[in-house]
Structure 1
Amino acid sequence: MAEVKVAATIAPQDIIDNETLNSINDNHAYIDIIELRIDQWESHHHEHLMKNLSLLNEIKGHFKILVTYRTLSQGGKGQLTNKEYLQLIETISSIDAFQMIDIEWESNIDVETHKRIIENAHRHQKQIIVSYHNFLETPPLEELKFTYYKMLKLNPEYVKIAVMPKEKRDVATLLEAVAYTSEAISQQVIGISMSRLGLVSRTAQGVFGGTVSYGCLGEPQAPGQIHVKELKKQLLFYENM
């Protein structure tokens, strides 16, 4: 069974407020990664990011910081053009104050451009999560497996797929794709079946070979997220069976 890290997602409207900072402090024992969403900011991303990273790095904890700009097409609030998005990723990759960065995958991406941006991020010691989100449906099993395979061409440390289930079989399909891929590749695999229907994919992630599960500290930032304390408890239940 894979060891699963807990990522706590936060999305400050401007600067992280004291309530969130206190919540991170109170729950630091359950958190391995802080995912800092930045797509909610309409502008001045670099300036806002630097201020928030400074606050997070003052907290006494052993968590890594993951920076994510989620575009509108993949369920986020970000409205940058593709060119602007890639420029932002390339620019912030040089910041030393965080360790991980999320880079979105689409079937029509320019693979060579993405490779270059990821190589640049690697030069700055960043771990890369290449992610794909589908808020409409769960694609067929073979399509999910092939998507993971195509993500590997970008040479990330993690490959992540999050999809929306419409029925129980969709959850099983996603978990089967995670199990197959985690046994076939050396990179770390993340698979999420969103909403309450897919909750088992978050809590039993490690059983199927997944290595990161996303939770929240307050309001969920994605369908189906639960509080990191409860998430850690559920993950440990499966690990200790």
Structure 2
Amino acid sequence: MTEIVVTLSSRNLTELQQELKDLHHARDDFDILEFRGDYFEDDEEIIDALYGLRELNKRILYTYRTESEGGYGSDDDYVSHIKYISAHAPLDILDIQYNSYREAAFISHIKSRSIEVLFSHHDFLKTPDEKTVQSIIDGMYESFADYCKVAYMPSHNEDVELLFELLKENKEKYGNMIIIIAMGERGKITRVAKEPYNSAFTYGCLKTPQAPGQVEIKMLREVYKHNE
């Protein structure tokens, strides 16, 4: 089964109010809300925004993407930020950058509060070799992830084929917790793939792509309309 994640584009609470209206109209087109905390400048506004999103009655995935992984957030403040937000705001899934933080005590604490952990790793320039990608996924699983997400920029079609094969193999190995994305135009096919090459989550947008190769959630719902 593939769940559709809509990545929000709002940069402040005023923009979020309009986006909330659009989300209400499109609520059948997605399963999970991804809120990008690195788009906001104030932690208290982030907390207010997350409480406001509860009115949609959808699961909330909180992501704070740092500059080193293609976002706008501070690498230096990453750990203190996710600790603060996860302690004060309502969320169901926390995206944790695998290379930024993986302390076992924190992971255990988060999971004890019924927050699922999604470990992520991104490279917007290239696709690592098979051994490297597999090592990262294995490490995520061994660090007690509920979901393992890797997203890479393919240089050629062989990179996309490699990621598809790794997705299939790791689904067989670990179950429906694997998310593997090839970014950009070349990798769009990974966002709409069916069994056995579909990820646990596929990420889309309402209107404007928030990552290279993202497509609109309306299209994703057509692909996964029966949510097999």
Normalising by the smaller structure, the TM-score range is over 0.9
Q: 1:8 aligns with which of 6, 14, 25?
A: 6
Q: 1:180 aligns with which of 145, 159, 169?
A: 169
The question of whether the paired residues in 2 share the 8 Å contact of 1:33 and 1:64 is answered with yes
CA RMSD of aligned residues (A): 1.9
The question of whether the paired residues in 2 share the 8 Å contact of 1:204 and 1:235 is answered with no
Q: Which amino acid aligns with 1:40?
A: Y
Secondary structure at the residue paired with 2:211? coil
Secondary structure at the residue paired with 1:57? helix
Where does structure 1 lack aligned partners over 5 or more consecutive residues? Answer: none
The question of whether the paired residues in 2 share the 8 Å contact of 1:205 and 1:213 is answered with no
Secondary structure at the residue paired with 1:58? helix
Equivalent-residue separation in structure 2 for 1:36 and 1:197 (angstroms) = 26
Q: Which amino acid aligns with 2:46?
A: L
Partner of 2:24: 25
Deviation at 1:17, TM superposition (A): 3.1
Superposed CA offset, 1:106-148 (max 9, x none): 2xx565xx22221121122100100000101011122211210
Secondary structure at the residue paired with 1:196? coil
The question of whether the paired residues in 2 share the 8 Å contact of 1:183 and 1:209 is answered with no
Moved over 6 A (4+): none
Please list, as runs of the form range in 1=range in 2, the aligned pairs for 1:185-224 lying within 5 A after superposition. 185-186=174-175, 188-204=177-193, 206-224=195-213
The question of whether the paired residues in 1 share the 8 Å contact of 2:68 and 2:75 is answered with no
Q: 1:103 aligns with which of 96, 105, 116?
A: 96
Q: Which amino acid aligns with 1:103?
A: I
Please list, as runs of the form range in 1=range in 2, the aligned pairs for 1:115-126 lying within 5 A after superposition. 115-126=104-115
Partner of 2:59: 64
Superposed CA offset, 1:139-171 (max 9, x none): 112221121001112101000000001111111
Calculate the TM-score normalised by the size of structure 2. Answer: 0.92
Calculate the TM-score normalised by the size of structure 1. Answer: 0.88
Q: Which amino acid aligns with 2:118?
A: I
Partner of 1:51: 48
Q: 1:163 aligns with which of 152, 163, 172?
A: 152
Secondary structure at the residue paired with 1:207? coil
Equivalent-residue separation in structure 1 for 2:198 and 2:104 (angstroms) = 26
Secondary structure at the residue paired with 1:17? helix
Partner of 2:139: 150
Q: Which amino acid aligns with 2:25?
A: D
Equivalent-residue separation in structure 1 for 2:221 and 2:198 (angstroms) = 16
Superposed CA offset, 1:37-59 (max 9, x none): 011223x22x0122112221123
CA 1:205/1:37 → structure 2, altered by over 3 Å: closer, same or farther?
Answer: farther
Q: Which amino acid aligns with 2:4?
A: V
Superposed CA offset, 1:70-116 (max 9, x none): 010011111240xx21111122222352211100012xx565xx222
Number of residue-to-residue matches in the alignment = 227
Where does structure 2 lack aligned partners over 5 or more consecutive residues? Answer: none
The question of whether the paired residues in 2 share the 8 Å contact of 1:204 and 1:238 is answered with no
Secondary structure at the residue paired with 2:128? coil
